[in-house]
Structure 1
């Protein structure tokens, strides 16, 4: 199982939706709760952000490979689908 590194900003509605989606996905499938997800507020952890290429948050990586980067206007269901895909990738 791989660790997911996720970057967010305080007050970001897409970030809030990504976190809510993870909780909902864990309720639907408890195996997702075993995936380690390390959340970093990007302005508080510039040292961790370095080496990760993204523009929008939330952004989710496994290693330095980006598997999800939110896009303006995404619905909760779209975000949840992308988050699920990242969790599935981490479980492989």
Structure 2
């Protein structure tokens, strides 16, 4: 089954990006099958050329193909990120 990549745009040292990474670790521990969808991490500061044309403001931001799955907002909790990412994976694995 050929799946698109999930693009994870992050900043080094960003506490929200760390929350998102931690949420992903838990999701993958419970559902290793979700790793069938390649997760591509791109540092906003180290690889900005890979992000041209992407419409986002905050990190972390996730794109699945051209669809923005999630863009963090100040104050977002790890629980919110976890729920959004779990919902994404559940739907993506079905489709």
TM-score, normalization: structure 1? 0.90
Q: Which runs of 5+ in 2 are unaligned?
A: none
Answer yes or no: is the 8 Å Cα contact 1:6–1:59 preserved in 2: yes
Q: Which runs of 5+ in 1 are unaligned?
A: none
RMSD (Å), alpha carbons? 1.3
Aligned pairs, number: 92
Where 2:42 maps in the other structure, the secondary structure is strand
Matching of residues 10-89 of structure 1 within 5 Å:
10-89=12-91
CA deviations 1:52-73 (Å, max 9, x no partner) are: 1000111000122211001110
TM-score, normalization: structure 2? 0.87
Q: Which runs of structure 1 show a deviation greater than 4 angstroms over 4 or more consecutive aligned residues?
A: none
